[in-house]
Amino acid sequence: MCGIAAIIGTSYSSKEKITSMIKSIKHRGPDDTGYFSTNNVQMASARLSILDFSQKANMPMTDKSGRFVIIYNGEIYNFLELKKKFNLVTKSNSDTEILIELFSLLNVKCFDYLNGIFALIIFDKINNKIYCARDRLGVKPLYYHNDGNNLYFCSEIKAFKKIINNLKIDEEIIKFYLTTGYYDFSKSSFYKNIFQVKQGTYQEINVNDLLSREVKYWDLTSKSQIAKLENPNSFFLDSFSLQQRSDTPIGLNVSSGIDSNLMISYFDKINKGQKNIQANSFYYSDKEFDKSNEIKEMSEYYKWKIYLHEITSEDIMNNLENVLQANDEPIPGIPTVAKYLLIKRGYNSDCKVVIEGQGGDDIAAGYKYIYPLHLLDLFKKNSFLDLLNESKNFMRNENMSFIEFINFCRNCIKGFFNGGLSADGTVSSVKDILSFENKNQKFYSEIMSNLKEQDSLLKKIIYRDIFYCKLPRILRTCDRTSMALSKELRVPILDHNIVEYFFKSNNRELIKNGTLRNKYKEIYMSNFKLNKFMRKRKYYLDDPQTKWFKYDLYDWVRETILISQSELYNFVNKKKLTNYIDNFRTNKNLNNSNFIMQLINLRYLLKSNG
């Protein structure tokens, strides 16, 4: 795991630029810094040593022929299997050397064989070409900027502030964020002319003229490499086994939810106990949202030691700016700060790998707001009896009245086409406060145009969330929050084989009898039949953000947002916003704090880039 930076261009670039870029992300790799420089190509790496601590594993690294040079951020979990499969001879025990030797052997075809998380840059000295690639789901980041003479690449946006004068915030992205709630994209960022290499793609760049072509090497819509969908348990076993590979201690972030119980169950099964895995969990000091007793119950049930860490409202206030600075772009809310504090307090410097159960809802149809799209699919197929039964079961499961159900469905369907919904299907409708009329729908039009190949509305919204809306922001905040503390965060549930399995599954298997994540739960229960934690009802409001913003943190929120010369007033009506904030504390109908979190995010973003 590392931070990487590169400058490729047709004009001279001093070493000071690449040096300042890599220094700005030294937190990603405090163990070693390396450089490579030749005509029109500069590469740098800040290394976090996880596999093979020796100098032989340092970067930039050259293959044995001397033709290819690599800088790389990530982990190739199946590197030992690839070494054996292709008879690769190496000097180190690192996955980096396997990766560069495999590229030397197969060129870009090697990406098809990789099981892991990665962002890489490879320089071909003979053909004078650069290859940049990201892993299938975009777990690892790679940003770039083209100034016309040079291409700049780096793991984090903050590095570009060192080399670009007057880096500007993209106001169109801000408007899109405020009107739809979407704020992570496959390509764009909140900064003008700062882009991302898309997940599941590689770019081939001619160093002489900077002309490039982009190739998608993997997508959920392509033919699956999974021959049969018969034994998903093997995918989980393989993923959790492979992702334990590390020469450093391993930590495990857990909650009381389904994904965490699944993780512990598989690790316990594979390792026959907890072994040397250190498990940590946070809980909120607010009793209404305190799940510490459930964590203690899990600890006794599995016979695992799970350390608990309290998060207070004061912790949020005192640490939010550090988390926003680490992320460069907006964060979802206070759980991101809580995760930052959990990693900071729970793991010492020897533990460099933390595993977390992200992605279950995204890949297995777990978000409440997707359910009405499933009902629309049934309606289109004239499956009216199924539609009726599903609706009745869902209302019963979620304890909804018929009127509540109709309003919920209407909001969710509208949200699919326009955005602006929380995961539970509630609306954050504050558009009358905005000081602009957003007629520019190009960003969402681009998203929707990429959904046309899907065979159902359910698959469309799952695909949308995985690549454009929900998962990208989760993965970004996971990466920045952990790497700010020099920890690699792994997400085994997002192994691409598991993701493919669920996406290729039948819609009526994913959702059944009004139950979200039905197939996911069936797999878990079939392998851990006696586990009582899988029968728990999902929490949709499992953090005290709204409550704390109304009470404990209200004065701080008000002062943060309503500062007299705030840059926010370029986007919101000052008087209407003041009335909204003043009313927020006492109005029982204002139970969605997403808009307030958006404003706090933007206040910091605009202030720090003014």
Q: Where are the domains of the chain?
A: 2-168+194-216, 232-363+469-535, 544-610
H or E element in which residue 453 lies:
none
Q: In this predicted structure, what is the pLDDT of residue 441?
A: 62
Q: What is the pLDDT of residues 232-262, one digit of tens each?
A: 899 999 999 999 999 999 999 999 999 999 9
Q: In this structure, which topology does domain 2-168+194-216 adopt according to CATH? A: Glutamine Phosphoribosylpyrophosphate, subunit 1, domain 1 (3.60.20)
Q: Assign domain 232-363+469-535 to a CATH class.
A: alpha beta
- d(C-alpha 463, C-alpha 544), whole Å: 29
Average pLDDT, the chain: 91
Percent of residues, the chain, with pLDDT higher than 90: 78
Q: In this predicted structure, what is the pLDDT of residue 179?
A: 83
The pair of structure tokens assigned to 607 is 């202030």
Instruction: Please give the average per-residue pLDDT across 560-575, as a whole number.
Output: 87
Instruction: Please give the average per-residue pLDDT across 5-29, as a whole number.
Output: 91
Band the pLDDT of 414: cuts 50, 70, 90.
Answer: confident
Q: In this predicted structure, what is the pLDDT of residue 183?
A: 80
Strand order in the sheet with 201-206: 61-62, 68-76, 116-124, 129-134, 201-206, 212-216
- d(C-alpha 435, C-alpha 569), whole Å: 8
Instruction: Please give the average per-residue pLDDT across 21-32, as a whole number.
Output: 97
Band the pLDDT of 420: cuts 50, 70, 90.
Answer: low
Common-topology check for domains 2-168+194-216 and 232-363+469-535: no
- d(C-alpha 583, C-alpha 605), whole Å: 25
Instruction: Please give the average per-residue pLDDT across 176-184, as a whole number.
Output: 83
- d(C-alpha 255, C-alpha 542), whole Å: 11
Tell whether the model's pLDDT for residue 223 goes beyond 70.
no
Least confident window among 9-13, 157-161, 227-231, 347-351:
227-231
- d(C-alpha 90, C-alpha 5), whole Å: 25
- d(C-alpha 312, C-alpha 552), whole Å: 10
Band the pLDDT of 350: cuts 50, 70, 90.
Answer: very high
Least confident window among 163-167, 199-203, 324-328, 413-417:
413-417
- d(C-alpha 5, C-alpha 21), whole Å: 7
Q: What is the pLDDT of residues 81-91, one digit of tens each?
A: 999 999 999 99
Tell whether the model's pLDDT for residue 356 goes beyond 90.
yes
More confident residue, 564 or 49: 49
Tell whether the model's pLDDT for residue 387 goes beyond 60.
yes
Q: In this predicted structure, what is the pLDDT of residue 419?
A: 60
Tell whether the model's pLDDT for residue 393 goes beyond 50.
yes
The pair of structure tokens assigned to 337 is 């700060």
Instruction: Please give the average per-residue pLDDT across 349-377, as a whole number.
Output: 95
Tell whether the model's pLDDT for residue 228 goes beyond 90.
no
Band the pLDDT of 540: cuts 50, 70, 90.
Answer: low
Within 137-214, residue ranges assigned H as helices are 171-180
> Across the strands, what pairs with 74?
118
Instruction: Please give the average per-residue pLDDT across 209-236, as a whole number.
Output: 79
Q: In this predicted structure, what is the pLDDT of residue 165?
A: 85
**Which of 160-174, 286-300, 529-543, 576-590 is the most confident on average?**
286-300
Percent of residues, the chain, with pLDDT higher than 70: 93
H or E element in which residue 256 lies:
none
Tell whether the model's pLDDT for residue 229 goes beyond 60.
no
Instruction: Please give the average per-residue pLDDT across 312-335, as a whole number.
Output: 97
H or E element in which residue 78 lies:
none
- Comparing C-alpha atoms, which of 141, 228, 520 is closest to residue 359? 520
Tell whether the model's pLDDT for residue 364 goes beyond 80.
yes
ω into 30 cis (within 30 of 0): no
- d(C-alpha 188, C-alpha 183), whole Å: 9
Tell whether the model's pLDDT for residue 224 goes beyond 60.
no
- DSSP letters, 320-364, are HHHHHHHHSS--SSHHHHHHHHHHHHH--TT--EEE----HHHHT
Q: What is the pLDDT of residues 106-153, one digit of tens each?
A: 999 999 999 999 999 999 999 999 999 999 999 999 999 999 899 999
Q: In this predicted structure, what is the pLDDT of residue 227?
A: 44
The pair of structure tokens assigned to 320 is 């939010």
Least confident window among 6-20, 135-149, 546-560:
6-20
Q: What is the pLDDT of residues 424-441, one digit of tens each?
A: 555 555 778 998 876 556
Instruction: Please give the average per-residue pLDDT across 395-415, as a whole number.
Output: 92
Q: In this predicted structure, what is the pLDDT of residue 449?
A: 72
Q: In this predicted structure, what is the pLDDT of residue 461?
A: 93
